[in-house]
Amino acid sequence: MPDRRPRLRGILGQITTIAVTLLGLLLLTFIIGRMMPADPVRAMVGEDATRETYEQVFRQLGLDRPLWEQFLRYLGDVLSGDFGNSIRTGKPVIEDILHVMPATMELATFAILIGAGLGIPLGVTAAVNKDRWPDHLVRVFSLFGHSMPIFWTGMIALIVFYAALGWVGGSGRMSQFYIGMVPDRTGFLLIDSAIAGQWDVFRSAVNHLILPASLLGYSSSAYITRMTRSFMLDQLGQEYMTTARVKGLSRGQTIWRHAFGNIRVQLVTIVALAYGSLLEGAVLIETVFAWPGFGQYLTNNLIIGDMNAVMTCVLIVGVIFIGLNLLSDILYRLFDPRTK
């Protein structure tokens, strides 16, 4: 029987690491929250409140206690699932965030499909044709995607494809006309409209999704292309590729069956990480396209200084990132026979 102890210790070590990172994350969001200039008490009680009311709320929130005690209290609240209420709407912020998340996930999922669908074949092409013109072309194309300010490209694309050509829908998730026609079941508009059989709404949603998703996808394809190319180059130089050719496989078969087959696991981890960084682009692209998702929620609350909402948003992004890192790690362990 193989010795399982080192593996177990590895897992325990990883769990400790994650716990420490999460704790640090909470500390960071706590510090950011405390540094915010907006006065949470004033925002809750209003401008006309008496001094007594103000101080009562001040104490209720625990703001008179030392900072470390406030942090412990924050920690306790978060662990029990209480992320505080939005100062603006008065509702628990976590509810608000869960409400806007599907819109962003719909956008990000389509974007990653486009990004991977574009980046992986381009990366393979570049690697197979290293230092020849397809490689240079792919390099410039992907550096371009990496260099563009996505909020600007979004506007230019709106001017060209929506205002001038009329090929796609404009801002928002669907035309104004359809808003409220589909009952909100999952929050994913494509799924909801399909369930309801409202194909007009579905078409409108696709029309509005295609442009922001393509732009996000293009910008994430830069990273995917670069990594695919370098993974492929590693494989193409390996001796087992010669073995496959000697067996009588064609060049295409050796590239796709053997070399590409061997980088699949690595690619999945890369795509998982790229999915996380889409959140970044989403913040900007959602503002440009008036997309009612997580990014827009975050920026709106940043501007009005809603402390609880901002802290929770930052925390969620951090957790998603850690989760995706962990996921890619697990996938690697599961699917690469050499790690067993």
Partner 1 sequence: MTQTLRLPAPLLAARNIVTFLLRQPTSAFGVIVLAALILTALFAPLIAPHDPYVQNLNNVLQPPGNGHPFGTDELGRDIFSRLVWGARITLTIIFLVTIVVGPIGMIVGTVSGYFGGKVDMVMMRVTDIFLSFPSLILSLAFVAALGPSLNNAIIAIGLTAWPPIARLARAETMTFRNADYIAAARLQGTSPLRIIVKSIMPMCLPSVVIRLTLNMATVILTAAGLGFLGLGAQPPLPEWGAMIATGRRYMIDSWWLVTFPGLSILCVSLAFNLLGDGLRDALDPKQMNRR
Partner 2 sequence: MQGPILDVKNLSIRYHGASADAVRKVSFTLGRERLGIVGESGSGKSTVGRALLRLLPGATITADTLRFEDADLLALSEREMLKVRGRRMSMILQDPKFSLNPIRRVGQQVAETCLRHFPVSRAEARVKTLEMLAAVKIRDPERVHDLYPHEISGGMGQRVMIAMMLLADPDLVIADEPTSALDVTVRLQVLNILDALVRDRGIGLIMISHDLNLVRNFCDRVLIMYAGRVVETLDARDMDAARHPYTRGLLAAQPRIGGSRAPLAVLDRRPEWQEEMAP
Exactly one of 62, 121, 134, 305 binds partner 1 (CB under 8 A); which one? Answer: 305
96 neighbors 89 (Cβ within 8 angstroms): yes
Binding to partner 1, residues 10-69 (CB under 8 A):
17, 20-21, 24-25, 28-29, 31-33, 35-37
Nearer to partner 1 (CB atom), residue 262 or residue 325: 325
Residues near partner 2, by CB under 8 A: 238-240, 242-250, 258, 261-262, 265, 336-338
User: In the bound complex, what is the minimum distance in angstroms from residue 238's beta carbon to partner 2?
Assistant: 7
Interacting stretch for partner 1, rule CB under 8 A, among 81-89, 133-141, 175-183, 262-270? Answer: 133-141
The region that residue 171 occupies, defined by phi over 0 for left and psi between -120 and 50 for alpha, beta otherwise, is beta
Look up tokens 């290293």; give the residue.
130
Neighbours of 175 (CB within 10 A): 16
Nearer to partner 2 (CB atom), residue 17 or residue 238: 238
Phi, psi for residue 210 in degrees, rounded to 5: -60, -40
Look up tokens 């590895």; give the residue.
10
Nearer to partner 2 (CB atom), residue 300 or residue 339: 339
User: In the bound complex, what is the minimum distance in angstroms from residue 13's beta carbon to partner 2?
Assistant: 24
> Tokens at residue 330, please?
């697990």
- Could you say which of partner 1, partner 2, none residue 246 binds, taking C-beta under 5 to 8 angstroms by partner kind? partner 2
The site for partner 1, by CB under 8 A, has a size of 50
Binding to partner 1, residues 246-285 (CB under 8 A):
276-277, 279-280, 283-284
Q: Which DSSP symbol is given to 92?
A: B
Alpha helix ranges (H) inside the chain: 5-35, 40-45, 51-60, 67-79, 93-128, 133-147, 150-157, 189-196, 199-236, 239-246, 251-253, 261-288, 294-304, 307-335
Q: Return d(Cα 27, Cα 33) in angstroms, integer.
A: 10
- Could you say which of partner 2, partner 1, none residue 63 binds, taking C-beta under 5 to 8 angstroms by partner kind? none
Compute CA distances 256 → 121, 249, 267, whole Å: 11, 11, 14
Binding to partner 1 by residue 147, rule CB under 8 A? yes
Binding to partner 1 by residue 287, rule CB under 8 A? yes
User: In the bound complex, what is the minimum distance in angstroms from residue 269's beta carbon to partner 2?
Assistant: 15
Exactly one of 49, 302, 327, 331 binds partner 1 (CB under 8 A); which one? Answer: 302
